[in-house]
Chains A and B, each alone.
Chain A
Amino acid sequence: AQTVTQSQPEMSVQEAETVTLSCTYDTSESNYYLFWYKQPPSRQMILVIRQEAYKQQNATENRFSVNFQKAAKSFSLKISDSQLGDTAMYFCAFMNKNTGNQFYFGTGTSLTVIP
């Protein structure tokens, strides 16, 4: 079974500053995907960034980047130049590439960007 752990229930950051959200996971699989999803008050889960486990290069999407440490099973999200619109719940998620149809989510981190 796969487990995803987010140890920071709440975090805050000043606007324009940088913040890092932590995520660790446990799996015996070697072929998988990792994701960060954002859930604003509108409730829709929005994909922030994704990483394929076989790719050593860390994924980057504009102000969002990850630090993927496969051996340590760590997948942290860095948000640079934080904006008020980044205020949301952030969920780390795992998906087995072989089955590909089920997310395993962490418990989430509530991020507040302070003006």
Chain B
Amino acid sequence: KAGVTQTPRYLIKTRGQQVTLSCSPISGHRSVSWYQQTPGQGLQFLFEYFSETQRNKGNFPGRFSGRQFSNSRSEMNVSTLELGDSALYLCASSLSRDSYGYTFGSGTRLTVV
């Protein structure tokens, strides 16, 4: 059984650019959540999608957005990148909202220069 797959693993972007990160959940999982991990702020919740609908959103500016497709794959987009957006972005999937059986991916390391 394949795990949660995040692509790419590493990414370097320039300030002002935009970036799209991808997350493929475990087969059958319908909930996908995104987290930002930085040394200064730790792990912070970005948003959660279930059946293509965003159900919850963390306290991040509108430059951070996401979407989920009918096959449950999810993408997150960050526009107008800032140096402070450099982080490890983690994705987690689960069967449903009521399940606490979350599985995390290995993340995408984004560096903004």
Contact = CB atoms under 8 A, between A and B. Distances in A.
A62 interface: no
Range of interface residues on B (Cβ < 8 Å): 20 to 34
B42 A100 contact: no
Given A101-B48, A102-B56, A108-B42, A44 B107 contact: yes
Interface stretch (B14-22, B62-70, B72-80, B97-105): B97-105
Specify the main secondary structure of chain B where it touches its partner.
strand
Interface in A63-112: 91, 95, 97, 99-108
Range of interface residues on A (Cβ < 8 Å): 20 to 34
Contact of B100 (A42, A95, A104, A106): A95
A32 B102 CA distance: 15
Interface string A43-70: 1111100100000000000000000000
Given A47-B103, A105-B35, 13 more contacts: A33-B100, A35-B100, A37-B104, A42-B106, A43-B88, A44-B3, A44-B104, A100-B99, A101-B50, A101-B55, A102-B56, A103-B35, A107-B42
Interface of A: 33, 35, 37, 42-47, 50, 91, 95, 97, 99-108
